[in-house]
Chain A
Amino acid sequence: MTTRRVALKVLGGTLGAGAFAYAAHPMAEWTADLSLDDVLRKHYKELTPEELAQILRRIEAQTKELHGVDVTVRDLPAQDGVLFGYALNLSVCIGCRKCAEACHVENNHDRRTNNSYIRVLEMTQGSFDMERGTADYDHEVPAPGKYYMPVQCHQCDDAPCVRVCPVEATWKERDGIVVVDYDWCIGCRYCEAACPYHARRFNWTTPEVPAAEINPDQGYLSNRLRPQGVVEKCTFCLHRTRAGRLPACLEACPTGARVFGNLLDPTSEIRYVLEHKRVYVLKEELGTRPRFFYFFDV
């Protein structure tokens, strides 16, 4: 009788040890870009300025180690009296995708997939149905009977993506920008599914950016190099706009279709558009209250 009991104990012990070894298996794949500090750190909003500065320096050091590039990672705070808004003139957009290209370069996107936070949809004139737009058109633009609607993050006031995040890795900042902490994101992609504008991107692999093409002006919550398995999104080029500069996509637009500015400044260009143009928001019926507006010249 004792032998059977001992055999069961040994079997159970072996299975238990095996299960533990399997569960602990990821620990064996501990890589250089994942330090103990990274694992034990606090949520972004709970970091002291000193801890945050330490993290920024660590990211810079890791970038130097992995890519051999000197970059500056900053975390510019939201400014008082500033609420960002963006408007796009559909009457003049020609669908050339220069904005998507500028985003690609500015935000250190994966070169292999031509990733960009902007998806330019070719739409049939007379239709507003975003779901019927195509983004992979490859003919001369503008094509007859078509119009072009670039779609990027709408920085919704009531953002569905923020609501569904199970770990609070994404939130809305004071100046209206919805941000992601790539170090806190667990890659569940709930936010990607929740976004009605298809504005979030998932890093299936570690983004490949040649060292010479890495934009060294980086922001913690915006264009720093992302790891594999996290979600990313447009931040209205937060690292530029919080320093007073215009977003990269606006500067690249050859038709001047894009208008950016401070919604709280009554003399701003964006306020002029909102007050004098025929403006609409995409999928208004969803109640997401976007801070991205489309308008026509007529």
Chain B
Amino acid sequence: MPSANTRAVSRGMATAEAAPVLLTRVCLVALSLGGCSADRAATPRAAPAAATHTTTIHIPARLSGVPSSAPDARGRPGNVACVTCHSLRKPAGLPTTMAALREFHQGLAFDHGKLSCGTCHEVGDQRTVHLADGTRVAMLDAIQLCRQCHGPQARDYDHGAHGGMNGYWDLSVGDRTRNHCIDCHDVHAPRFAPSVPVLPPLDRGLARSSVRPHGADRSAP
């Protein structure tokens, strides 16, 4: 769709008058069109302000422990640090199936492709994981592991098009917190579990169905 300015210029050219008169008319037409058009900016736009604030990635508690059904001393959701149990016993090796777990993480649901514990975990070191090529990375940098297989998601995440966030869209005003992969996905079973929706609509137009198809049965109240 041509902008108001291009329309104004083409109209002015058609009159083919002396340059000053032409210029005045072009300005007048541009002004009048600009004034009428409701969806155009009324003032010149300044460049977006420089981003002076930072984006941080949230560090979930799950990276340093496992959730517990028992609340902690201050009543918050419980989280048992890995070392609480693992400092007492040194595992002989990593199992390949969940059924082989005898003392730790019993009942852990695992449904993540054809991976097994040793794909990511290190024997006897809960603060470190390893990439497919054996490179060891800190557990806090676990996003690097996800990136190995989930390239498109990682690319979109880097551009803010995947994964939720909180705070400010305008980084010249305030900070932003990005969700970590495992804030939303259980790394051991990443698929979202079905949930019951909240806030059922109750307004009177929605007694039976929100939007009725045109010409459809309207006998319902």
- Contact across chains for A113 and B202 when beta carbons are under 8 A apart: yes
- Contact across chains for A172 and B201 when beta carbons are under 8 A apart: no
Report if B91 contacts A (CB, 8 A): no
**Chain A minimum-CB-distance residue to B157:** A256
Report if B42 contacts A (CB, 8 A): yes
- Least CB distance, B151 to chain A, in whole angstroms: 12
- Contact across chains for A256 and B165 when beta carbons are under 8 A apart: yes
Cβ 8 A contact of A256, one of B42, B162, B213: B162
Report if B107 contacts A (CB, 8 A): no
Give chain A interface residues in 145-181, CB to chain B under 8 Å.
Answer: 157-159, 162, 171-172, 174, 176
- Contact across chains for B38 and A172 when beta carbons are under 8 A apart: yes
Give chain B interface residues in 131-173, CB to chain A under 8 Å.
Answer: 152, 156, 159-170, 172-173
Report if A116 contacts B (CB, 8 A): yes
- Contact across chains for A272 and B160 when beta carbons are under 8 A apart: yes
Report if A56 contacts B (CB, 8 A): no
Given contacts A95-B197, A297-B152, contact A255 B164 (CB under 8 A): yes
- Least CB distance, A149 to chain B, in whole angstroms: 11
Q: Hey, which chain A residues are within 8 Å of B166, CB to CB?
A: 246, 251
Q: Hey, which chain A residues are within 8 Å of B47, CB to CB?
A: 81
Q: Mark A84-124, 1 if CB is under 8 A from B, else 0.
A: 00010100101111101100100000001111100111000
Q: Hey, which chain B residues are within 8 Å of A134, CB to CB?
A: 209-211
Q: Hey, which chain A residues are within 8 Å of B197, CB to CB?
A: 95-97, 120, 137-138, 141
- Least CB distance, A74 to chain B, in whole angstroms: 15
Complex: A131 Cα to B214 Cα, angstroms: 8
Question: Which of B80-88, B94-102, B116-124, B188-196 makes up part of the contact surface?
Answer: B188-196
Complex: A202 Cα to B99 Cα, angstroms: 57
Q: Hey, which chain A residues are within 8 Å of B71, CB to CB?
A: none
Cβ 8 A contact of B184, one of A82, A87, A254, A277: A254
Cβ 8 A contact of A96, one of B198, B209, B211: B198
- Contact across chains for A269 and B38 when beta carbons are under 8 A apart: no
- Least CB distance, A179 to chain B, in whole angstroms: 12
Question: Which residue, A81, A129, A172, A264, has most C-beta atoms of chain B within 10 A?
Answer: A81
Main secondary structure of the interface of A (DSSP, over half): loop
How many residues of chain B have a CB within 8 Å of chain A?
51
Report if A140 contacts B (CB, 8 A): yes
Report if B208 contacts A (CB, 8 A): yes
Q: Hey, which chain B residues are within 8 Å of A227, CB to CB?
A: none
Q: Mark B11-38, 1 if CB is under 8 A from A, else 0.
A: 0000000000000000000000000001
Give chain A interface residues in 248-298, CB to chain B under 8 Å.
Answer: 250-251, 253-256, 258-262, 264-265, 268-269, 272-273, 276-277, 289, 297
Report if B6 contacts A (CB, 8 A): no
- Contact across chains for B161 and A269 when beta carbons are under 8 A apart: yes
Given contacts A114-B202, A172-B38, contact A269 B210 (CB under 8 A): no
Complex: A159 Cα to B38 Cα, angstroms: 9
Complex: A136 Cα to B202 Cα, angstroms: 8
Size range of the interface on A? 35 or more
- Contact across chains for B198 and A243 when beta carbons are under 8 A apart: no
Complex: A138 Cα to B196 Cα, angstroms: 7
Report if B187 contacts A (CB, 8 A): no
- Least CB distance, B200 to chain A, in whole angstroms: 6
Complex: A261 Cα to B168 Cα, angstroms: 10
Report if B103 contacts A (CB, 8 A): no
Report if B92 contacts A (CB, 8 A): no
- Contact across chains for B48 and A265 when beta carbons are under 8 A apart: yes
- Contact across chains for B164 and A256 when beta carbons are under 8 A apart: yes
Report if A187 contacts B (CB, 8 A): no
Report if B203 contacts A (CB, 8 A): yes
Q: Hey, which chain B residues are within 8 Å of A52, CB to CB?
A: none
- B-side residues, CB < 8 A to A, are 38-39, 41-49, 152, 156, 159-170, 172-174, 176, 179, 184, 192, 194-204, 206, 208-214
- A-side residues, CB < 8 A to B, are 80-83, 87, 89, 92, 94-98, 100-101, 104, 112-116, 119-121, 129-142, 157-159, 162, 171-172, 174, 176, 198, 201, 204, 241, 243-246, 250-251, 253-256, 258-262, 264-265, 268-269, 272-273, 276-277, 289, 297
Nearest 5 CB-CB pairings of A with B: A244-B173, A135-B210, A269-B160, A244-B170, A256-B164
- Can you report 17 A-B residue pairs in the complex whose CB atoms are below 8 A from each other? A92-B162, A94-B192, A121-B211, A129-B213, A130-B211, A131-B213, A134-B209, A139-B196, A159-B39, A198-B210, A198-B211, A256-B164, A262-B170, A268-B48, A269-B169, A276-B161, A297-B162
Beyond known contacts A80-B45, A204-B204: 15 more, CB 8 A cutoff: A81-B46, A81-B48, A89-B161, A96-B195, A97-B198, A120-B197, A137-B197, A159-B38, A174-B41, A174-B42, A244-B173, A245-B167, A245-B168, A259-B160, A297-B156
